Amino acid sequence: MLSRLVFLPASALKSSGSLGAGLVQAGRCLHTSPQTQAPVPPLPEKSGKVRHGFIPEEFFQFLYPKTGVTGPYVLGTGLTLYMLSKEIYVINHETFAALSVGAVLIYAVKKFGPGIAAFADKLNDEKAAKVQEVKDVAVKSLTQAIDDEKKEQWRVEGRNMLFDAKRNNVAMLLETNYRERLHMVTNEVKKRLDYQIQLQNLHQRLEREHMVDWVEKNVVKSITPQQEKESIAKCIADLKVLAKNTQAKASL
């Protein structure tokens, strides 16, 4: 029979992938190829249903269409009776050991099962909460970073206005400085021109006075004593005439 297996088609050989060293205890396939970028699906909430602790529910569903609800139980009873009667299952000392152990196990599971399940769930929840907290902290810090970044961008816009205001200030300073210097220049030039005017005035006055003094001096010099006596006599004569005139006018 094995000789037939030698002539298997090549496609069947291709489908059998090579296993890694030892059986890796991984439940879901690891993302080894770069194409699977989808997020890993979450764990299922409950396991497959199992009735009476060790018979899968699918068996009951499989027999339900043909035999109804009691089918599997009748099958179980029939099989047990067959195995007992034909002694395929032999009742010996191990049977009683198995029954005692089974009883104790069932009692223990029924009594402590829910407690242990709750404890395990609590452990799992704590683990999940810790990881979730790490993720939440990371997300929060990142959103905070985003908000800070947006605020900085908003501040930069404000900085433009600040620069405009500063530019205006500087322009105004320059303007005032220029006007001050303009004033200073005009003042200085005016002072210089005034000085020149005063200088000219002074010159003219000095010349005039000098000339007047010189003319007076020459005139005084030219008046000889003879002329002085004559002029004085004339003046006296004039005065007498004048006095006579006024006396005459006053008596009139």
For other proteins, the closer of residues 121 and 216 by Cβ is 121
Pair 28, 40: CB distance under 8 Å: yes
For other proteins, the closer of residues 31 and 191 by Cβ is 31
For other proteins, the closer of residues 47 and 153 by Cβ is 47
Minimum CB separation of residue 36 from other proteins in Å reads: 17
Pair 231, 220: CB distance under 8 Å: no
Calpha distance 235→151 (Å, rounded): 111
Pick the closest to residue 63 from 76, 52, 54 (CA basis): 76
Q: Which of residues 122-141 bind other proteins (CB under 8 A)?
A: 124
| Beta pairing partners, 55 | 51
Calpha distance 59→67 (Å, rounded): 12
According to the binding rule CB under 8 A, does residue 28 interact with other proteins?
A: yes
Minimum CB separation of residue 23 from other proteins in Å reads: 7
According to the binding rule CB under 8 A, does residue 12 interact with other proteins?
A: yes
According to the binding rule CB under 8 A, does residue 90 interact with other proteins?
A: yes
Out of 39, 54, 248, 249, name the contact with other proteins by CB under 8 A: 54
Out of 34, 39, 44, 158, name the contact with other proteins by CB under 8 A: 44
Calpha distance 190→169 (Å, rounded): 31
